[in-house]
Every structure is written in C-alpha cells, then in structure tokens.
A and B are shown apart, each in its own frame.
Chain A
C-alpha cells in the first residue's frame, strides 16, 4: 500500500524555537508538497519539490529521494505559525493523474 507518514502528530514549541516536521513515503514519487492548513479548513501550498531543498522566508523544505524522506523546518518560530502542516505526494506510477496522497498532518502550536 502506498503510504505517507508524518511525525510528530502533535508538536508544541516556544516562540523562537527551530521546528522540524518529518514525512516518509513508501514508493517513488513525482513530487512532494508541503501544505499549511489553518482552523476553518483553508489550505495553502507552501512548497512543491522533487529534489534538493527550497527556502521561503523562515521555511525550509528538504527531500532525500534515496531515503524517501522529506523535512519541513521553521526557523525562529512564531505563534502565527500555529497550524496543521500536511505532507502530500504525487506517486510516480500515477501517470498523468497527479492526484495527491496526503499524510494525516502535524498539529503545530507555538506558544508566546
């Protein structure tokens, strides 16, 4: 079964801390996405990557294709970063479909 697993499920941090959220997947992918979901449901796409590393502001996403693993890092965390962070992958075998399979999400709470 093709799976996406995230850890930790819940994470509480103090403002300013460096945060890491991990994502592992089972088979080859075409692309991996990191998404942010705020209370009320709205989802924002943070990164789409298939190799290496991407950075946007205080957010950094890395992927290791050989190890089938990706990490999302948040530097100098802030209470406004509190949200659910979701990893999603497009499987390489799915041809042109590109539908995503999602992890169950990591609930991040940053305390002031």
Chain B
C-alpha cells in the first residue's frame, strides 16, 4: 500500500456545477477524515468516518456538501451548486482509531 490517494488532484469548474472527489485511505485504516484548506490557512475539519459510519460533521459542511463511505473503504465528497467560496484544497486523511493521521496529496478545487 502506497498511502492515501486522492483523485482528481486538480479540478476547475464553473460556479453552479457539481463536483465529486474521491479518497482511498490506507487499507487497514478504519477512520477517514476530510479537511478543507484555504490559501494561507491551516486545514479545517469537515467530517470523519469510522468504517462506513459518518460520526461527526463540522458546521462548515453546509447542505451543499455530502460525504459517503459506503463500504468502509474509499470515500467521496460531493459539492453541489459550487460557489467561488468553495475554492480550496480538500484534504483526506486516514488513521487506525486515534493513531497518527496520514494525509493524502489533496484535491485543489477552483471555482470560476
């Protein structure tokens, strides 16, 4: 296993379009986290899963955002009706319970 992977690495979309990102965690990790990072800032927590259950969501995750982890392995993050303020780096991390989180390379979203 080569670590956490995210696809796509870059996404450019027009305002109002829907986008979906994918995260593949390290295979034996049961926890998966989504974070968002805007330019010049540290990442901010969005949501996390333990196995297939979504256990916590930040208030940053508006109703336009939805995340799934249907089989407890990969996860998808969908943003509907994108806005320019959604432009950011979306980071995924995984861990085994409360151990060290390993981060993916991120998906950079640009909304025009």
Contacts and interface: CB of A to CB of B under 8 A. Distances in A.
Interface of A: 4, 30-31, 33, 35, 40-45, 48, 86, 88, 90, 96-105
B56 A103 contact: no
B76 to A, nearest CB: 19
B42 A41 contact: no
B100 A102 contact: no
Size band of the B side of the interface? 20 to 34
- By secondary structure, the B interface counts as strand
A99 B98 contact: no
Given A48-B99, A100-B35, 20 more contacts: A4-B42, A30-B98, A33-B101, A40-B105, A41-B106, A42-B103, A42-B105, A44-B103, A45-B103, A86-B43, A88-B42, A96-B98, A97-B48, A97-B55, A99-B45, A100-B45, A100-B101, A101-B45, A102-B42, A104-B41
